Amino acid sequence: MTQTGVRAATVTMAVALAVLVVASIAAAAQGAVTVDVTGKWAFSVETSAGSGTPTFTFKQDGEKLTGHYSGQLGEAELTGTVKGQAISFTFTADVDGNKFDVTYTGTVEGKDAMKGTVKLAGVGEGTFTGKRQ
């Protein structure tokens, strides 16, 4: 191989390496989407036990989620997590002295919407959508 050919091969390799580095950085940045659900949210819930329109007030600190539920099941404090775009939180409902855990698991879509499933331990399960107010 001539000296010109070696230089051309070296330049081609350098360009290919640069393209791979840029693509890797872009993929990592895209995977590290920052989600912050802090604020007041209006939900629409459909379950086998009925439907409702509760409100949630969330406070997010890193992956830790705390907040308050207000709806057909009364008032309750909640705890949970936000990992990437995945969200999960639980509170204990007290209806006429009967306590049961309610667990929401879903995905945050953009900065102002989420959707997923809800499980009312021993009572029913269903789906939810939420919009930031």
**pLDDT tens by residue, 24-83:** 454 444 445 689 999 999 999 999 888 999 999 999 999 999 999 999 999 999 999 999
The superfamily (CATH) of domain 39-132 is Quinohemoprotein amine dehydrogenase alpha subunit, domain 2 (2.40.128.120)
Instruction: Quote the pTM value.
Output: 0.76
Tokens representing 96 are 């006429």
Q: Which residue has the tokens 């099941």?
A: 73
E strand or H helix at 51: strand 50-52
Kindly report which listed range (14-18, 58-62, 92-96) carries the lowest average pLDDT score: 14-18
Domain limits, the chain: 1-32, 39-132
How many CA within 13 A on the CB side of residue 46?
4
pLDDT for 7: 58
Q: Which amino acid is at 112?
A: D
Q: Is 110 or 1 the better-scoring residue by pLDDT?
A: 110
Closest by alpha carbon to 72, among 54, 90, 47, 91? 54
